[in-house]
């Protein structure tokens, strides 16, 4: 039976686009730079802005300049790609088709989950090809603020931790009128979901209120979220401004390539050759305000067990 792989590839791309309408952690964590995205997988390097530390404001009678030091520099980013692949025996493929079973969409969505997992981890934890030396720094690696935190297994432990971390951000003038996000491991999420008093007072809504304490102008909507992801190690947490346009001054995503599929016959043998397929994307985080130690005050991390 002949297989029109081009039709399958087109269908896969449509299925992937469908699923991508649902938000995933990487794009919940950072705003997207639309202007610099979409340049394709040929984008190997990216020269991003680097804001030098300012000297603070001043009050005076006469107009004056601060030291003549450039406040805008640049930093070179190596552009990573996220991918996954499949090798499918032609006999198995044909057997599914003969039985009227369409396994193709399931394969596409399964592959998409693997690519998105890689993207989520790259944005939150970075990418170190050898497991030690980071080529791409993630949010957790660049966090300059930290606190010992309190146990999420104890009522108000999460609220205390979040309040402390937001306080540290604001002490460094990292304000977010759009609120803050809390990133936690699923283990901590379930502790927080079940945390409450004997009288039925739940801790979860209190934490959400703390993340959104500056968002009164949203008419009851709470942009700041509690985001559960295995990319955050159990026993730790992270707080950062939400992924709004105005917060691009702290961090932003570049997406050279959205997810696409490539399907082909092994060795070009369309009659009875096995099938190979690959799904590819490219997404990485940038941080304009890193200091000389590659840290930013815009992100705070803590522990969730004591």
* Inter-residue contact 280 to 83 (CB < 8 Å): yes
Mean pLDDT of 259-273: 87
- Say yes or no: domain 5-55+64-303 is CATH 1.10.860: no
pLDDT value of position 162: 97
pLDDT value of position 216: 65
* 3-state SS assignment for residue 51: strand
Mean pLDDT of 256-272: 88
Integer Cα distance of 28 and 46 in angstroms: 22
pLDDT value of position 305: 79
Provide the mean pLDDT of the chain: 87
| Global pTM value | 0.88
Structural Rg of the chain based on CA atoms = 23
What backbone torsions phi and psi does residue 63 show, to the nearest 5 degrees? -75, 130
Q: Which of 76-85, 94-103, 179-188 has the lowest mean pLDDT?
A: 94-103
Integer Cα distance of 93 and 24 in angstroms: 31
Residue 7 has pLDDT above 80, yes or no: no
Residue 240 has pLDDT above 60, yes or no: yes
More confidently predicted of 253 and 49:
253
Q: Which of 46-60, 71-85, 209-223 has the lowest mean pLDDT?
A: 46-60
* CA atoms within a 13 Å half-sphere pointing along the CA-CB vector of 276: 9
Integer Cα distance of 7 and 17 in angstroms: 15
pLDDT value of position 229: 94
pLDDT value of position 63: 72
Burial of 147 (0-12, 13-18, 19+ CB in 10 A): middle
Burial of 269 (0-12, 13-18, 19+ CB in 10 A): exposed
Q: What is the pLDDT of residues 84-118, one digit of tens each?
A: 999 989 888 888 778 877 667 778 888 888 999 99
Q: What is the pLDDT of residues 15-60, one digit of tens each?
A: 666 565 455 899 999 999 999 999 999 999 998 877 665 556 677 7
pLDDT value of position 270: 84
- In this structure, what is the dihedral angle of CA atoms 110, 113, 117, 120, given to the nearest 10 degrees? 170
pLDDT value of position 20: 58
Integer Cα distance of 103 and 260 in angstroms: 18
pLDDT value of position 282: 96
Give the pLDDT band (50/70/90) at residue 1.
Answer: very low
More confidently predicted of 215 and 164:
164
* Inter-residue contact 76 to 46 (CB < 8 Å): yes
Domain boundaries, the chain: 5-55+64-303
């Amino acid at each position: 039976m002949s297989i029109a792989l081009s039709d399958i590839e087109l269908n896969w791309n449509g299925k992937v686009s469908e699923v991508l309408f649902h938000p995933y952690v990487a794009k919940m964590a950072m705003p997207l730079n639309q202007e610099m995205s979409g340049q394709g997988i040929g984008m190997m390097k990216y020269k991003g802005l680097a804001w030098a530390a300012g000297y603070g404001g001043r009050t005076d009678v006469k107009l004056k300049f601060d030291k003549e030091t450039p406040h805008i520099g640049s930093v070179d980013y190596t552009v990573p790609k996220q991918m996954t692949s499949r090798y499918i025996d032609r006999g198995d493929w044909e057997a599914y088709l003969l039985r009227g079973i369409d396994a193709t969409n399931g394969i596409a969505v399964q592959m998409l989950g693997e690519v998105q997992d890689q993207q989520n981890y790259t944005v939150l934890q970075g990418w170190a090809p050898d497991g030690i030396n980071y080529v791409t720094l993630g949010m957790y690696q660049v966090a300059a603020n930290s606190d010992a935190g309190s146990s999420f297994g104890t009522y108000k432990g999460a609220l205390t931790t979040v309040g402390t971390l937001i306080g540290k951000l604001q002490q460094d003038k990292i304000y977010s009128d759009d609120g803050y996000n809390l990133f936690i491991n699923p283990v901590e999420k379930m502790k927080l979901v079940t945390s409450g008093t004997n009288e039925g007072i739940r801790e979860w809504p209190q934490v959400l209120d703390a993340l959104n304490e500056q968002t009164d102008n949203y008419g009851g909507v709470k942009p700041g979220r509690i985001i559960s992801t295995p990319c955050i190690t159990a026993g730790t947490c992270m707080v950062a401004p939400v992924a709004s346009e105005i917060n691009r001054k702290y961090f932003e995503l570049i997406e050279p390539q959205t997810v696409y599929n490539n399907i082909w016959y092994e060795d070009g043998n369309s009659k009875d050759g096995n099938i190979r397929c690959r799904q590819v994307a490219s997404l990485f985080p940038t941080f304009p305000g890193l200091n000389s130690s590659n840290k930013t005050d815009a992100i705070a991390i803590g522990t969730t067990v004591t």
